[in-house]
Amino acid sequence: MKKSKISKLFAACVLTIVIFGMAGCGTKTTEKSLGGTGEQSAPLVICLEGGDWGFPSPFAHYSRGPGASKMRLIYDSLLEKGEEGLIPWLAREWTISPDGREYTFVLNSKVKWHDGKMLTVQDVKFSFEYFMKHPPVSDSLFIDGKPFIEKIEVIDESQVKIVVKEPNATVLDRLGIVRIIPEHIWKDIDDPKKVMDLDKLVGCGPYILTDYSQEQGKYRFQAFKDYWGRKPRVDVIEFIPVSDPVLAFENGEIDLLDVPPDIIDRYENNKEFKILKSPAFWGYKLLFNMEKKPELADINVRKAIAHAVDVDELIEKVARGAAVSASSGYLPIDHIWYNPDVTRYDFDIEKAKELLNNKLLNLVLLISDSQQEARIAELLKINFAKAGINIDVRAVDMKTRDNCVKNCDYELAIIGHGGWGRDADCLREAYAATVARDAGPASNVICGYSNPKISQLCKKQLIELDEQKRKSMIMELQKLISDEIPMLPLYNTIDYTVFKPEKYDGWVHVFDHHAVTHNKLSYLEQDKK
């Protein structure tokens, strides 16, 4: 009896498997036939690697990862980041008063919200005021943790004036990227973090979110047909869950791949594919804690360490060639204000020994548990030992490492982050010891270091409104920093993005960011000028 029951069960299992298998094949075929976009009249659907980065409202996307870029598809701002610098967007022009305190923006007319209502100057005023009360996830309205806007005035139906407390070179950038949100949706909402309804996501940007699933990590954006600005070229953008990006790209499930450097030759010299090289705006740096290890306050010791790092080896073995050597003046080679004449420290063990005076040095190197950092640490350890610097590598999880760095509880630390293409004021955040620990991943993490000359110049550039003058200050600052090396930038990574131009080739990099999928220009028609 029992036996026959079990065999029945077994048969049932086998049958189910067969049915599932057949069902699977069936679904697959429909998927394929739906996915084909051979005909020209068919809407252009671009599929990209998804994953959950939060509900794309200015208040709810996650602080890590590409959540903000998805939110920006829905919401426009006064200015936009272009390929070379800031470009007019919702504001078609702007003026700055000579004292650098009044910013007047002239808005484009006939800008519509996704729900059909017209955008007004009042919406702009409301957005700024609302964000000051309810800060969004990416907040640019605070400098060193303090608000800098004094007041916002509506001048007429197309002009708005923003008065700031003191002149500051970063204000235009900060005001320009603030998302404009509709007053009629948000005015009665007191806790915007909890808003999770699709119908509240009314923006005036080129795309409307039609589908989002947190657990499955998928987003679907549809072009807004009444968009005021450059016409969307991509009709639908779908972010879908992807297990292995290379397999998904090869299978045609996604249309763009950040290709691992080891397999890049698969797509090279092949007309079917195009490869874009990203600017190197993500990087690793080595931090020195001069508070805990006074030896590191000796500039010769820091120089010795810099000479003991074989960056080329790190790039070859850890980054597999997809990186460039970082600048000892911090701003990376692709930064618009990069200074090529900074002091360089070539790999030279003998020189390192000489600088150390043949003293022995024992240090603990703190890293996170990422594979890359472990590899960097191992390679550093080998070369450092040759120069007489013994390092003990301590790996902890990312949050623990970040916390230790924040609390100056480390001797040496490796840290990796993005945003190296940001406004050059990041130099001040990183190197001017007078600044409170704050904003920006590069912010003040050099414990026990202060250099009056660097700090002064950092402050001076911040209030210099003449761009050329400011630029030359930044150049000088990089030189000073490279002579001092209060921390050692190691290398900046490059992404290689591969896609099929036959399907879509509008991908562009904006001036300060490394990913083509993160800026809305990639999905819109290019400027006609």
Residues from 209 through 268 that contact another protein (CB under 8 A): 211, 214-218, 220, 238, 240-244, 247-248, 250-251, 253, 258
What are 147's two structure tokens? 């608000």
**Binding of another protein at residue 348 (CB under 8 A)?**
no
- Which residue among 374, 398, 408, 465 contacts another protein (CB under 8 A)? 398
Interaction between residue 401 and another protein (CB under 8 A): yes
User: Encoding tokens for residue 232?
Assistant: 């969307």
514 binds another protein (CB under 8 A): yes
Question: Is 147 or 448 the residue whose CB approaches another protein more closely?
Answer: 147
Among residues 66, 108, 86, 55, which one has the least CA distance to residue 178? 86
Whole-number minimum distance, CB 205 to another protein, in Å?
19
Of residues 304 and 427, the one with the C-beta less far from another protein: 427
94 or 288: whose CB is closer to another protein?
288
Task: Determine if 10 is a binding residue for another protein (CB under 8 A).
Answer: yes
Instruction: Indicate the residue among 88 and 419 with the shorter CB distance to another protein.
Output: 419
Q: Given the complex with another protein, which of 24 and 294 has the nearer CB atom?
A: 24
The DSSP code for 108 is P
Intra-chain end-to-end CA distance of the chain, in Å: 83
Q: Which stretch binds another protein (CB under 8 A): 154-162, 335-343, 382-390, 511-519?
A: 511-519
Give me the 436-475 binding string for another protein, x by CB under 8 A, dash otherwise: xxxxxx-x-x------------------------------
Distance, CA of 233 to CA of 40 (rounded, Å): 13
Which region, judged by CB under 8 A, interacts with another protein, from 116-124, 343-351, 415-423, 520-528?
415-423
* Residue whose C-alpha is closest to residue 125's, from 105, 145, 142: 105
Least distance between another protein and beta carbon 275 (Å): 16
Residue 301 φ then ψ, to 5°: -65, -45
CB 412 within 8 A of CB 462: no
Q: Residue 402 CB, nearest distance to another protein (Å)?
A: 4
| 397 Cβ contact list (under 8 Å, min separation 6) | 368, 369
Q: Is 15 helix (H, G, I), strand (E, B) or coil?
A: helix
* Strand boundaries in 326-374, DSSP class E: 361-368
454 neighbors 361 (Cβ within 8 angstroms): no
Closest CA to 441 of 461, 420, 459: 420
Residue type, 368: S
Within its chain, how far is the Cα of 213 from the centroid? 23
Output the smallest distance, CB 378 to another protein, in A.
17
Which pair of tokens denotes residue 488? 């050692």
CB 453, min distance to another protein, A: 25
Measured from the CB atom, is 80 or 258 closer to another protein?
258
Tell me which of 133, 194, 528, 529 binds another protein, using CB under 8 A: 194
Cβ-based nearer residue to another protein, 183 or 512: 512
The Cα–Cα gap between 200 and 338 comes to 42
Min dist. Cβ of residue 186 to another protein (A):
16
Q: Which is nearer to another protein, 342 or 442 (CB)?
A: 442
Cβ proximity of 81 and 513 under 8 Å: yes
Q: Which is nearer to another protein, 90 or 242 (CB)?
A: 242
Residues between 286 and 325 that touch another protein (CB under 8 A): none
Q: How many residues bind another protein (CB under 8 A)?
A: 92
**Which amino acid would we find at residue 447?**
C
**Contact with another protein (CB under 8 A) among 402, 471, 472, 479:** 402
Say whether residue 495 binds another protein (CB under 8 A): yes
Do residues 291 and 447 touch, judged by C-beta distance below 8 A?
yes
Q: Map the footprint of another protein across residues 123-162, applying CB under 8 A.
A: 135, 137-139, 142, 144-146
Contact between 224 and 206 (Cβ < 8 Å):
yes
509, 496 contact by CB (below 8 A): no
CB of 240 within 8 A of CB of 218? Answer: yes
The footprint of another protein on residues 46-65 (CB under 8 A) is 50-52, 54-55, 59-60, 62-65
Site for another protein in 158-187 (CB under 8 A): none
All residues at 6 or more sequence positions from 142 whose CB lies less than 8 Å from its CB, including other chains: 135, 148, 439
- 368 binds another protein, rule: CB under 8 A: yes
Specify the residue, 20 or 463, whose C-beta has the smaller distance to another protein: 20
Which tokens go with 330? 């911090």
Write out the binding residues for another protein, residues 22-41 only, by CB under 8 A: 23-28, 31
**Which region, judged by CB under 8 A, interacts with another protein, from 170-178, 335-343, 402-410, 463-471?**
402-410
Beta bridge partners of 525: none
* SS3 per residue for 20-38: HHHHHHHHHHHHHHHHCCC
